[in-house]
Structure 1
Amino acid sequence: MSALYRNSIRFFRVIGTIFILQIMGGMLPAHAAEPGTTAPLLTVYKDANCGCCEKWLTHIRERGFSVNAHNINNLYEFKQSKGIPASMQSCHTAVSSQGYVFEGHIPAKFISRFLATPPKDAIGLTVPAMPVGSPGMEYQDKFMPYQVLLLKNDGSSQVYAQVNSLEESVQ
């Protein structure tokens, strides 16, 4: 084989590989983690019979999070052990690899924002109860405005974000 022929084959292999990688890149979810980065890991504790928790897990996964889900029977005690006051609890609790807690139906974008720049003296975020229209709690086109609250080490909380529309909730 001539050197020109070998170089031509190499050239077309490179072009073909680039083409295939571009096609495969288009198959990734719109909110997937950037190549070369590690998707944030959340370990989620929930009740085995909770359908809205499964919907929330789908929301989180579609936005680039890795998830390990565990069904447990003693959720209330678990939440208390993580410092989540009873008035701030919801149906599931996620714990980041850094130890932060994310209670309830929090939109993924707020978890991402929190993890990028964790506020001082914070243990995590919560969306108490189960507001209609929050991720996992979608029902028709109904929506109830809600707040994402910052949970602090001292047991207090403050508003972290206000969610006023269904579009804001599921982004």
Structure 2
Amino acid sequence: MRRRVLLERFVAIGVSLPGLALTATPKAEVQVFKSRSCSCCAVWAGHLREAGFTVAVLDVRNASVERRRLGMPDRFGSCHTALADGYVIEGHVPAAEIERLLATRPKALGLSVPGMPVSAPGMAVPGRSQPYQVLLIDLAGQASTFASYPG
């Protein structure tokens, strides 16, 4: 019984023993470009951290400048832009969809949740919900539905 408890503790803290693969593959770092005054962006960054991402928050004067620099068309804009392993992530995209994007690695610019839908991570308002879509933006700037959330 003592060995089992010790092994469980090693697993809980991510220690790897010879011959045993007990650690998970680390997730990509996400760089978030946001306005210093935007609190919902900070909440979204927290959502990513809770999902296991390493997040670097960079306060910028104007997040739309970063969006354009990274090639995301303005029509898919939101309040912040992020970069995850070469993909542009625009707006309040759920961590699960970023994980799926990085696992499948489609030829695309990235993902977007345009605007600021109430139900998206970082935008939750108790008692309110709003359906929204996560869009996959291809290299030509065209969108297709990557995931739908009912709200």
TM range, smaller chain: 0.7 to 0.9
1:145 to 116, 126, 131: 131
Q: Is the 8 A contact 2:44 2:92 kept in 1?
A: yes
Greater than 3 Å deviation, 4+ residue runs: 23-28
Number of the residue aligned with 1:37: 25
What CA deviation, in whole Å up to 9, does each residue of 1:123-154 have, x standing for no partner?
10000000001100000031100010011111
Identity over aligned residues, as a percent? 39
CA 1:25–1:157 in 2, change beyond 3 Å: closer, same or farther? same
Alignment of 1:79-118 (within 5 A): 79-96=67-84, 98-118=85-105
- 2:62 is the alignment partner of 1:74: yes
TM-score, normalization: structure 2? 0.86
Structure 2 counterpart of 1:138, one-letter code = A
State the SS of the aligned residue for 2:109: strand
Structure 2: how far apart are the matches of 1:47 and 1:140? 24
Structure 1 spans left out of the alignment, 5+ residues: 1-11, 29-33, 166-171
Q: Is the 8 A contact 2:118 2:130 kept in 1?
A: yes
Bigger radius of gyration among the two = 1
Structure 2 spans left out of the alignment, 5+ residues: 15-21
